[in-house]
Amino acid sequence: MRKATALLITILAIVILSACAGTAEEENPLKGTVWSLETIGESAAYPGVDVIVDFGDGEVRGNTGCNDFNGQYKVKGDTIEFKDVSMTMMACQNPSLRAQENAFLNALQLARSYHTDGNMLELLDEYGETLMILRRY
C-alpha cells in the first residue's frame, strides 16, 4: 500500500510539473517569431530596407537597416520590456535611415505593452500610444 501511494504521489507531481512547464511557453507568444518594421510613429518604414526584429527565448536581435542589434526582452501578459539593447556601430550614411534607426531604438526603450492581430505586432508606450507596427516576416 505504501509503494502504491508513493507511486501515485510521484505521478501526480509529474503531471503538475508538466502542466506548469507548459504555461511558461504560453506566456511568451513572441518567442520564435520574426517581424519587419511597417511604421514607426506615424511614418512608414524607409522603403527598400528591412528592419528586422527576431524574438528568441528572452533574447531579441535583428537589424535596424544600418546596424545589427541584440538585447533582452521580457513578456508578461500584454506587457513587454526591452533592456540591455546594444548594436554594432556601422556608419549610416543616409540621414533618413539614420533618423529611422534612432527612432526605432528609442521606441524599443519606450515600449511597455504590445498587441498582436494576425500578422501584425504593435508596440505601445506607457500611455497606450503606438510606437511602431511590425509585420510578421
Q: pLDDT tens across 49-102, in order? A: 999 999 999 999 999 999 999 999 999 999 999 999 999 999 899 999 999 999
* Cell (9 digits) for 31: 518567442
- The pLDDT confidence band at residue 8, using thresholds 50, 70 and 90, is very low
* Cell (9 digits) for 84: 540591455
Select 30-136's CATH number: 3.40.1450.10, 3.30.390.10, 2.40.128.270, 3.40.50.2000. Answer: 2.40.128.270
For the chain, the domains span 30-136
Contacts of 131 (CB under 8 A, 6+ apart): 40, 41, 107, 110, 111, 123, 124, 125
Contacts of 69 (CB under 8 A, 6+ apart): 60, 61, 62, 63, 85, 86, 87, 88, 105
pLDDT at 15 over 70: no
* Cell (9 digits) for 101: 534607426
